[in-house]
Structure 1
Amino acid sequence: MTENAPIVASACTDAGDLPNTVAVNTRGLSVSQSREVWSEAVDSAYCDMDVDWPRPLSAFAAAIVARPMGEVSVSVVRADPHTVHRTPAMIAADPTDDLLVCLITKGSASIVQGRRVAVLDSGAFGFVDAADPFVVTGNTPFEQVVLRMPRSQMSARLGRSLEYSAAQRISADSGMGRIASRLLVDLASHDDRLDSRAGATVASATLDVLAAAIDQTGAVSLTDRAHHEDLRRVQRTMLAHLDDPDVTLTDIARDVGISVRYLHKLFATAGTTPRNWLYTKRFERAQAMLSDTDLPVGEIAGSLGFRDVAHFSRAFRRHCGSSPTGYRAQHR
């Protein structure tokens, strides 16, 4: 990031003269205050995420300025090393269809989504989809530009599925990657106070350039695409039978038209097992029902394929860290 990037100098402020702008700096705050303020800042600017620090008892310096521009928002972040991660439970509690483009101008960071990992530095960028779990780690003190945008705005522009493009490194060395990187840095470095019409025009043009850069990244093989579509069909079928404790993997494989062996291979390629994936989905739904409805715990258990409440309660505690009634009390 250039030295004149609009990072706020005060300890912790709202930029009152810029509506909808998030502006925070943890400098001068205590160890505990800096972490609390930063956790709230990233939630406000992006989406519900947890933050971890490699040195939890040391001072933590970070600053962010995020401002809207049409349908997107642009932010500049300078921070000491730390990690943010978005879990399935957070997605259930705070659903969003936004994409987060991360461009590293100084230092190094990594983004992880699904089975893909991209290390970013020297102006390289990639994006994560907030509708799926992800991890972003600042490996060193770093500076980055983040563009937050609606998923629909990018998917409409791409020549291929977003699912094949997340967590891929796009180099700033040449081609459309270089053009897109320079454009994002320029947008973040200069606060031009555009009116709403001009902001919308610039945002649309920026998304066009980003889409062109993403489309130039490596193509996905037909085999990988077929496996991905098969996995989605299996998962949809499993979700359709979520309330039936008698359905087996053999039943699911037969309904989809594949072998049980191939079904296991699909989940292994995604880094999980059918059982683990199904339990995660069951407890995501259980958490949502406990926090959003007044349904009895026994009724929730039955709707998720558990034959008795005791089994459900034990499994829920192992997976979520508290009893169903305790979780409901904490999230109402």
Structure 2
Amino acid sequence: MSVKESTLSERMRVLKEIIVDDSTKKLGFSSGNLVVKNALNQIELVVSLNQLDSISVMGNPQITTQLIKASAQKKKGLHYFSSSGKYLCSLDSHQDNYEKQITQFVASSSSSFQLLLAKRIIQSKILAQMSLLEAYNQDNLLTKEDFSHFHQSIAGVKASESVTQLIGFEGKAAKTYFYYLDLIIDPKFRFKRRTKRPPLDPFNSMISYGYHLLYSYLIGAIKKYGLNAGIGCIHKNRNYHATLASDLMESWRVIIVDEVVFNLISTQAVQPESFTYKGINGVIMDRATRNLFLEALQKRVSEKHSFFHNDPKFYTSLYAIDLQIESLMRAYHEVDATLFETIGGRIDV
């Protein structure tokens, strides 16, 4: 997002994050403030670094050493993305809490704990997928028989005896989900299948961009609580992959990102002409559409909903994510995956 003074106050109330995607911008630090200048060295934005949780840069904006040091000292996340929105890396200074991480590692070493936690996460994701399809199935193109495929996948998840087996049912549900989305979406945005690296159409461009942002936010949220973002239960552990962030975002990606994308398309707020094919980078949004997408995303995460089956209170998505991570910490401590609070409907495992 190109940083603009008029949108800053709203962004800070929601994400407490600055996103800069204009490679001509220069980010510096002066008198306790983040200072953003344009190519002519004119100041466009000044905001206290204390008011921010993180800074995300896309493309090649310049960042001074002073800002990097100040971000480290004040424990502010600094996240890097490619110009197309692909997550690259993060610099953070959250203090590792080794006692919490030992507890996390001990619990995660239990295959039964891992399997039960994975079952709860994936069942929650499939229920969220069903809810979104039901909400936008206004022409009744999808029938009860169509939705029965998701119930079959949930049954398979419950009966799975390993995470590998569970992933098979999750993959089947995901394939069905995107197939049905393609059926009910505006014909101008038909996408045929999910494409990631790179996204090959406007729909995939938007959700990939949103997923990257959600992934980086979850990394910061996990580290804020002193946990290790690389110890998950579903995704494979590999270098530089925050598997726990990928695990936790499974349900949230539907509720936050997919909902935003489908709403923008259904209200005709975005048009295919606003996207361009960029070779190896795939299809990307123009700057105006990206700003529109970010504003819609910010609005979505600021809305209050009742997320938890056993808690009728209304929370914003980001606060609910914090509550969910706190429940995960309790689950680690007691080595009891049922203590992990899932979002959406009732989870039977």
Decide: shared fold, TM above 0.5: no
State the TM-score, normalizing by the size of structure 1: 0.26
Larger Rg: 1
Q: More relative contact order in 1 or in 2 (CA 8 Å, sep 6+)?
A: 2
**Structure (1/2) with the larger strand percentage:** 1
State the TM-score, normalizing by the size of structure 2: 0.25
**Structure (1/2) with the larger helix percentage:** 2
